[in-house]
Amino acid sequence: MYTLKASQLAKRFGARKVFSDIDFQLHTGQSLAVVGPNGSGKSTLLKVLVSLLRPARGRVEYAEDGRPMDETTIRNRLSFVAPYLNLYDHLTAEENLRFFCTVGGHRVTGKEINGLLAGVGLEGRGHDLVDGYSSGMKQRLKYAVALLGDPDFLFLDEPGSNLDEQGREMIRALIEKRRQSSIVVIATNEPQEVGLAEQICRLGG
Partner 1 sequence: MPSKSAGLAGRTFAVYAKDIRLELRTRYGLNAILMFGITTLAVVSFSLGQSGLSPKLLAALFWIIIFFSAMSGLAQVFIREEESGTALALRLTADPDAIYLGKLFFNLTLLSVMVVIITPLFFIFTDAPAGNVGRFVVVLVLGVLGLCGATTLVAAIIAKASVKGALFSVLSFPILVPLLITLTAATEKIFDGLTFTSVSAELQFLTAYAVVMITASVLLFKFVWQE
Residues that bind partner 1 (CB under 8 A): 50-54, 72, 75-76, 78, 80, 82, 84-91, 95, 99-100, 102-108, 112, 145, 148-150
Task: Using the minimum distance from each CB to partner 1, give the nearer residue, 162 or 194.
Answer: 162
Least gap, CB of 181 to partner 1 (angstroms)? 12
d(CA 69, CA 75): 10
Q: Which CB sits closer to partner 1, 38 or 109? A: 109
Burial class (CB in 10 A: 0-12, 13-18, 19+), 193: buried
Task: Give, for 135, the enclosing helix (H) or strand (E).
Answer: helix 135-146
Q: Which residues contact 197 (CB under 8 A, 6 or more apart)?
A: 31, 32, 33, 179, 184, 186
CB 80 → partner 1: shortest distance, Å?
6
| C-beta neighbour count of 161 within 10 angstroms | 19
Q: Which is nearer to partner 1, 106 or 202 (CB)?
A: 106
157 closest CA partner among 30, 29, 52, 56: 52
> Closest separation between CB of residue 14 and partner 1, Å?
15
CB of 184 to partner 1, least distance (A): 16
Closest approach of partner 1 to the CB of residue 112, in Å: 6
Instruction: Using the minimum distance from each CB to partner 1, give the nearer residue, 16 or 107.
Output: 107
User: Minimum Å distance from CB 150 to partner 1?
Assistant: 5
- Would you say 91 or 194 has its CB closer to partner 1? 91
Burial 28-48, CB ≥16 within 10 A → b, else e: bebbbbbbbeeebbbbbbbbb
Q: Which is nearer to partner 1, 87 or 197 (CB)?
A: 87
